[in-house]
Amino acid sequence: MKKIELDIVALSQTMAQSNNYAVVLSEKEGNRRLPIIIGKCEAQSIALALEGMQPSRPLTHDLMKNLFTVFSVQLKEVIINNLVEGVFYARLVCVVNGETVEVDARSSDAIALVVRHECPIYTYEFILEAAGLELKDDDSPASEESQQSETDSSYSALDLPSDDAIERHAEFKKYTLDKLKKMLAEAIEKEDYRKAAQIRDELNKR
């Protein structure tokens, strides 16, 4: 199965629910984006690594990176390999003593390790087909500089508490299909990926 490489382009706190954060991945050669809802601890861990900040004591993902280094484990790549009932699954592809080993992981933990190891992250076409949001040409960042600016402004302003709970809400069940599709288009245009992801999930259930 062909792998599609992704970049991390945004990380932001959701407006409606303080317990939810969205990390947005974008395909390198295309205009689809993949928003993934994650917990506060993982959002904090990803944000710190993207900022290049070093906490006084290692966070869980820093500890994992240290263990990888001590035991000579190379994180070769990460693959977001499945999507089941709105939940993303990931695999860590590691090299240990010359052998390739794959380890199951939550997508949020996998992304937190990606930014520390600076390794590539991939997904498959069927996942982008099911969960990706396609930007129109005029919605795309004008340049690499503007895309970087979008990313920086998204994660540098995070004020992250320590609780890791993610609440799921069914606020979109009352709307018709036509209304949901219109709301989805508006959310993508405003780059509100948390809302777009929730609407997308509701549409997929229908």
Residue 149: count of CB within 10 angstroms of its CB: 12
- Higher confidence at residue 191 or residue 91? 91
Which is higher by pLDDT, 2 or 19? 2
Token code pair at residue 166:
């993610």
Amino acid at 72: S
What is the residue extent of each domain of the chain? 3-169
pLDDT per residue as tens digits for the range 158-180: 433 222 323 334 567 788 888 88
Mean pLDDT computed over 114-139: 88
Predicted confidence at residue 137, as pLDDT, reads: 61
CATH architecture group of domain 3-169? Roll (3.10)
Specify the 3-state DSSP secondary structure of 185.
helix
Task: Compute the Cα dihedral for 80, 49, 151, 118 and give only its sign.
Answer: negative
Host H or E run for residue 8: strand 3-13
pTM above 0.75, yes or no: no
CA distances (Å), origin 37, targets 53, 62, 72, 76: 23, 21, 32, 24
Mean per-residue pLDDT for 33-61? Answer: 88
User: How buried is residue 197: exposed, middle or buried, by Cβ count under 10 Å (0-12/13-18/19+)?
Assistant: buried
